[in-house]
């Protein structure tokens, strides 16, 4: 059974109650297990992102402060994978919404059939299984989702692991490569530099630009193969999405 962790951020009590009731009925129809967290203040929602992930996020634009667009931008700093659906009474902010990589933009009052279709489409983009590893950090084991890892850098006998945060773990670079070798998202682009291709913006010449604007030099002898690997990875991602929607 699929489990969905859902957040609703809306300061209208009646709207949140209607949406919560709809989700409860819909989940029973489709045999889904889910939990819903309702936030009437966007700042409270943002505080939870430090230690919680959401599968689906329903966001009212006319919140504040901060407003829905600003809140969505901050969400993306923590989580690039959550499916974001905006709820609003006006279409005027639609261009801004899609800059935050919104999945859909629904106008209130929301039509149940439209909402039903949006959720079904969104499910096709959710990973079937979210894998994670436990990093030895300061005598503790810290769980990190694979999808949150942006890049890993060698540092003597340690590895620096970068998500939205930074972790120094006592593990050799070769050990880390071994852990991730079967996951096609990860690629060693130079000595001591392992990246998640989902976070790569471009590879141009001998430089890899990440989406957080960090740059790394590519292996000079393998830069053509590395650039091709990024092209093929993006094609696979696109193909997977199309297959899930069909």
- What pLDDT does 230 receive? 95
Based on the fold, state whether residues 59 and 157 are members of the same structural domain. Answer: no
CATH at 45 = 3.40.50.2300
Based on the fold, state whether residues 97 and 178 are members of the same structural domain. Answer: no
Residue ranges of the chain with pLDDT lower than 70? 1-3, 31, 127-130, 241-246
CATH at 193 = 2.40.50.1020
- What pLDDT does 9 receive? 95
Number of domains in the chain: 2
Based on the fold, state whether residues 81 and 154 are members of the same structural domain. Answer: no
**Token pair for residue 166?**
């930074």
Based on the fold, state whether residues 112 and 145 are members of the same structural domain. Answer: no
Based on the fold, state whether residues 56 and 94 are members of the same structural domain. Answer: yes
Based on the fold, state whether residues 146 and 66 are members of the same structural domain. Answer: no
- Sequence-separated (6 or more) residues with CB below 8 Å from residue 51: none
Q: What DSSP letter does each residue of 2-15 carry, written as one string?
A: -EEEEEEE-S-HHH
Distance (Å) of CA 154 to CA 35, 128, 136, 219, 220: 39, 31, 15, 15, 19
Contact status, residue 81 vs residue 147, Cβ threshold 8 Å:
yes
Q: Per the omega criterion (within 30 degrees of 0), is the bond before 109 cis?
A: yes
pLDDT tens digits, 32-58: 778 899 999 999 999 988 777 888 999
Of 94, 123, 152, which closes a domain? 123
Based on the fold, state whether residues 54 and 19 are members of the same structural domain. Answer: yes
- Widest CA span in the chain: 61
Of 123, 151, 183, which closes a domain? 123
Based on the fold, state whether residues 27 and 94 are members of the same structural domain. Answer: yes
- What pLDDT does 148 receive? 86
Based on the fold, state whether residues 89 and 147 are members of the same structural domain. Answer: no
| Residue 197: Cβ-neighbour burial (10 angstroms; 0-12, 13-18, 19+) | buried
Of 123, 148, 163, which closes a domain? 123
Based on the fold, state whether residues 101 and 140 are members of the same structural domain. Answer: no
Based on the fold, state whether residues 146 and 89 are members of the same structural domain. Answer: no
Based on the fold, state whether residues 36 and 145 are members of the same structural domain. Answer: no
- What pLDDT does 1 receive? 43
- What pLDDT does 8 receive? 96
Q: pTM higher than 0.85, yes or no?
A: no
Contact status, residue 230 vs residue 237, Cβ threshold 8 Å:
no
Dihedral Cα 198, 203, 209, 212, nearest 10 deg: -20
Domain containing residue 151: 132-245
């Amino acid at each position: 059974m699929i489990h969905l962790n859902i957040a609703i951020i809306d300061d209208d009590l009646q709207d949140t109650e209607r949406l919560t009731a709809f989700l409860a009925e819909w989940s029973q129809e489709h045999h889904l297990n889910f939990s819903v967290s309702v936030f009437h203040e966007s700042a409270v929602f943002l505080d939870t992102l430090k230690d919680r992930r959401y599968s689906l996020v329903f966001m009212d634009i006319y919140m504040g402060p901060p407003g829905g667009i600003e809140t969505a931008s901050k969400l993306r700093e923590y989580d690039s994978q959550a499916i974001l659906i905006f709820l609003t009474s006006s279409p005027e902010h639609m261009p801004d919404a899609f800059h935050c990589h919104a999945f859909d933009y629904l106008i209130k009052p929301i039509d149940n059939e439209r909402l039903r279709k949006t959720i079904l489409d969104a499910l096709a983009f959710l990973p079937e299984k979210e894998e994670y590893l436990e990093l030895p950090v300061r005598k503790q084991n810290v769980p990190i989702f694979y999808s949150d890892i942006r890049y890993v850098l060698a540092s003597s006998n340690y590895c620096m692991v970068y998500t939205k945060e930074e972790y120094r773990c006592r593990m050799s670079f070769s050990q880390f490569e071994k852990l991730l070798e079967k996951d096609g998202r990860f690629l060693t682009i130079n000595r001591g530099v392992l990246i998640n291709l989902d976070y790569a913006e471009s590879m141009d010449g001998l430089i890899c630009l990440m989406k957080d604007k960090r740059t790394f030099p590519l292996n000079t002898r393998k830069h053509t193969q590395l650039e091709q690997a990024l092209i093929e990875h993006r094609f696979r991602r696109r193909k997977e999405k199309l297959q899930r929607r069909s």
